[in-house]
Amino acid sequence: MKHILLIAAALFCACLPARATYILIQTDHTQLVLTAQEDGALRTRYYGKRIEAPWQFLNDDSRFHGPNGSGPMTVPTTGGKYVREAALHVRYADGSHNTELYYTGHKSEYRNGVFTTTVMLRDPVTDLAVQLIYDAYEKEDVIVAHTEIVNGGKKTIELLDYASSAMHFEADRYLLTHTWGGWATEMQVERELLGHDTKVIESRRGVQTTQNNNPSFLLSLNTAEFSETAGDVIAGALAWSGNFRLAFDRDDAGRLSVIAGISPFASAYPLAPGETFITPDMVWTFSSAGAGQASRNLHRWARNWGVYRGGQVHPTLLNSWEGAYFTFTTETLLRMIDDAAGMGLEMFVLDDGWFAKDFPRNNDAAGLGDWEVNTAKLPEGIDYVASYAHDKGLKFGIWIEPEMVNPQSNLARRHPEWVVQSPGREIYQERNQWVLDLSNPKVQDFVFGIFDGVMKLSKNIDYVKWDCNRVIQSFGSTYLGKEQDRFFVEYCQGLYSVMKRIRTKYPDVIIQCCSSGGGRVDYGALHYFDEIWTSDNTDGDCRAYIQYATNLIYPPFIMGAHVSAVPNHQSGNVTPLKFRFDMACAGRLGLELQPKNFSARDRALAERCIASYYQYRDLVFTGDLYRLSSPYDSDYYALAYVAPDKSRAVVYTYCLRYQHRTGSQHPFRIDGLDPQRKYKVRELNVDRSCWWGDGQTFTGDFLGTGAFNPDLPQKYSSAVFYLEAE
């Protein structure tokens, strides 16, 4: 039926509708309904759970007589009757600012589980043409929208606002959940009830754009309470690694428009006659069963479509950074490799400090840009170390930061014009470094060449950690001349074009997206990168908050999660080794410490935790996440990954605050299990379990009652349970 409806809709003529028509964009459980009125106005009527006869929206024109007279315009444009936050704002060659778009037709096609609907609009006065493209992912209940803007006129125009997508909602209350943060405190949850007027979440940092805010959100409708399991929730994420802007514009009637796209900050983008601007993708999902389902929709989409090789299991690893920093010899690395192999890990990653000869990278003040092996430090070279790792049965990874240059480098002397800068102004340093201008195609070639060159250091390089450790300041490009407004957009496009080339040549290398930790966590980057470095903060306590919030939008399998030494190098906090393992094992497990400093007891525990991780690791990568308790709302954090066929699960439980309770058994309801099936529950990595039911078999519905109440008596008590259906 759905197919017939869409095909019928697709046959609609490419001109102003003789009578009102509707456009249906739908997935297995959700529906987006647009209507084109007789006058050609295109309006968004509904985004929510599927209803039977969506054409009935055509009978309702009650919303078009509001103060702005325009109703929920699918593309709110500056000009005409519309006076609020715009998705599209154009300055024409004659200086005018008005754009009024009219529907001219639409078409749909279906391929491999994705319905693509293209809606065409035009401004008859200026010949500006706009196409809205919606990819509806049937099974994942995700709609990915982007916009293509074509200058059909004869003169160059300027795009002042060019959002990817707008959505409109009507509810009594809108509870916004989003994340803020900073270095080592990425992804902190903030919730607020939206008032009237406009709430904006934006980044103007150029790169490292997600360190303060993430271009994503959850929106709970008609409630002031965040619920995992109940109510209508919309989730959105912009797939863009540059400056972004999310605007939540609530009008005087209480209606909400969400407008998401590239930030127009200093980016009035020129569009010549005949040129098309393609916006980044905006990823939307809807759940009528609370935030948990909204996250799971996004995670499934990420696994199947959104993340490079999503869901593929990646190796556990030992990273050299916190264990060795810049101070190592070949011998140091070989002994770390021996230890990694001995502990049952699968990869060794050589972090910063291995490169540059004339300006050796012995601290962060020199060397970025000069990507040759520092043979004074590693006389045998990289291949020797990488081959040693392979001989020990480990994969090998290496760190680069190709977008950056230290003033103390040969590159800075050879190509000062490649540095991001503004004429006559100081080029400010951050972490003693400058940014290379990726809007320049020559710099793009150079950056591709860095990756290519590093890969040639050894045929045994399996993994690259790509870092990016500062924001852009005094922005500008010697290459762009007078067209500086292109800079921010073309930097990000330049990065993607480099990544495209890298992926064509190196489809199999695992690439981690790091940016001082989680400074580049978005679905634009994840189109090319396999995983992220979630945060430089590896304190298990802080990680509870960071990982919980990351997983609101992004799937657990992308999270690099490492066990490090205590006191923690970032926070100074001391947590038990088991707690650190239990936290890191909820992501892609790694270690980031000097293993030779382990006591015999700690080493034995580490080996035990690593071995047990392999038993359920596939669930981290392919299971469905159920959040059982939030660190933000409770003294306890708990989550479960459940196999899609519900045959197995892993449940993580943590005490984050000591409450002096006489009864320290905390009840958790394990969601997501099959209520009828019986599961054998076993606690991992302990000799004596902290739950009375350990080793026994219980039905899924019993485990969902709160009878599952492990004893977590102290701050940083933690327990991991493995569940297998009979």
Please state, in angstroms and rounded to a whole number, the distance separating the CA atoms of residues 402 and 408. Answer: 15
Please state, in angstroms and rounded to a whole number, the distance separating the CA atoms of residues 74 and 133. Answer: 12
Closest to ligand GLA by CB, 92 vs 533, is 533
Shortest distance in whole angstroms from residue 261 CB to ligand GLA: 28
Shortest distance in whole angstroms from residue 562 CB to ligand GLA: 9
Label residue 489 left, alpha or beta by phi (over 0 means left) and psi (-120 to 50 means alpha): alpha
Shortest distance in whole angstroms from residue 471 CB to ligand GLA: 13
Which residues contact residue 326 at a Cβ distance below 8 angstroms, ignoring those fewer than 6 apart?
352, 353, 361, 362, 363, 364
Among 281, 346, 351, 683, binds ligand GLA (CB under 6 A): 351
Shortest distance in whole angstroms from residue 536 CB to ligand GLA: 5
Identify which of 624, 585, 639, 640 has the alpha carbon closest to the alpha carbon of residue 608.
585
Shortest distance in whole angstroms from residue 434 CB to ligand GLA: 16
* Sign of the torsion formed by the C-alpha atoms of 606, 608, 610 and 612: negative
- CB-side exposure of 426: number of CA atoms within 13 Å? 4
Structure tokens at 438: 């990726």
Burial of residue 416, with CB atoms counted within 10 A of its CB: 0-12 exposed, 13-18 middle, 19 or more buried: middle
Please state, in angstroms and rounded to a whole number, the distance separating the CA atoms of residues 105 and 120. Answer: 5
Closest to ligand GLA by CB, 571 vs 689, is 571
Are the CB atoms for 418 and 446 separated by under 8 Å? yes
Closest to ligand GLA by CB, 77 vs 469, is 469
Which string of x and - marks every residue 204-243 that binds ligand GLA (by CB under 6 A)? Answer: ----------------------------------------
Does position 539 interact with ligand GLA (CB under 6 A)? The reply is no
Among 208, 216, 293, 516, binds ligand GLA (CB under 6 A): 516
Closest to ligand GLA by CB, 223 vs 469, is 469
Structure tokens at 157: 């125009």
Please state, in angstroms and rounded to a whole number, the distance separating the CA atoms of residues 580 and 255. Answer: 45
Closest to ligand GLA by CB, 399 vs 652, is 399
Does position 469 interact with ligand GLA (CB under 6 A)? The reply is yes
Which string of x and - marks every residue 267-306 that binds ligand GLA (by CB under 6 A)? Answer: ----------------------------------------
Among 514, 521, 610, 638, binds ligand GLA (CB under 6 A): 514
Closest to ligand GLA by CB, 514 vs 542, is 514
By CB under 6 A, the count of residues binding ligand GLA is 12
Closest to ligand GLA by CB, 294 vs 532, is 532
- Which of 467, 485, 522, 539 is the catalytic position? 467
Identify which of 531, 537, 545, 542 has the alpha carbon closest to the alpha carbon of residue 517.
537
Shortest distance in whole angstroms from residue 401 CB to ligand GLA: 7
Q: Is 467 a catalytic residue?
A: yes
Structure tokens at 193: 């009830």
Which residue's C-beta sits nearest to ligand GLA?
Answer: 352
Identify which of 431, 384, 449 has the alpha carbon closest to the alpha carbon of residue 536.
431
Which residues contact residue 166 at a Cβ distance below 8 angstroms, ignoring those fewer than 6 apart?
44, 73, 74, 75, 76, 87, 257, 258, 259, 260
Shortest distance in whole angstroms from residue 509 CB to ligand GLA: 17
Closest to ligand GLA by CB, 136 vs 368, is 368
- Which of 135, 161, 536, 541 is the catalytic position? 536
Among 140, 536, 624, 671, binds ligand GLA (CB under 6 A): 536
Phi, psi torsion values for 172, nearest 5 degrees: -75, -40
Please state, in angstroms and rounded to a whole number, the distance separating the CA atoms of residues 577 and 718. Answer: 10
Stretch that binds ligand GLA, among 84-92, 283-291, 334-342, 512-520 (CB under 6 A): 512-520
- Pair type for strands 157-169 and 269-271: antiparallel
Shortest distance in whole angstroms from residue 353 CB to ligand GLA: 8
Among 491, 533, 626, 637, binds ligand GLA (CB under 6 A): 533
Shortest distance in whole angstroms from residue 632 CB to ligand GLA: 24
Structure tokens at 424: 């006559």
- CB-side exposure of 16: number of CA atoms within 13 Å? 11
Closest to ligand GLA by CB, 176 vs 324, is 324
Shortest distance in whole angstroms from residue 689 CB to ligand GLA: 35
Phi, psi torsion values for 90, nearest 5 degrees: -120, 140
Among 352, 485, 490, 582, binds ligand GLA (CB under 6 A): 352
Q: Is 536 a catalytic residue?
A: yes
Are the CB atoms for 162 and 50 separated by under 8 Å? no
Please state, in angstroms and rounded to a whole number, the distance separating the CA atoms of residues 174 and 204. Answer: 26
Does position 463 interact with ligand GLA (CB under 6 A)? The reply is no
Q: What angle do CA 35, 39, 42 make, to 5 degrees?
A: 30
Which string of x and - marks every residue 313-332 that binds ligand GLA (by CB under 6 A)? Answer: --------x-----------
Stretch that binds ligand GLA, among 71-79, 223-231, 456-464, 511-519 (CB under 6 A): 511-519
* Sign of the torsion formed by the C-alpha atoms of 617, 529, 112 and 232: positive
Stretch that binds ligand GLA, among 231-239, 386-394, 514-522, 650-658 (CB under 6 A): 514-522
Phi, psi torsion values for 100, nearest 5 degrees: -130, 115
Please state, in angstroms and rounded to a whole number, the distance separating the CA atoms of residues 476 and 486. Answer: 9
Shortest distance in whole angstroms from residue 518 CB to ligand GLA: 9
Does position 517 interact with ligand GLA (CB under 6 A)? The reply is yes
Number of residues assigned to the chain: 726
Closest to ligand GLA by CB, 5 vs 566, is 566
Looking at residues 388 to 417 of the shown chain, list those that interact with ligand GLA (rule: CB under 6 A).
399
Closest to ligand GLA by CB, 467 vs 531, is 467
SS3 307: coil
Question: Which residues of this protein are in contact with ligand GLA, per CB under 6 A?
Answer: 321, 351-352, 364, 399, 467, 469, 514, 516-517, 533, 536
Active-site amino acid positions: 467, 536
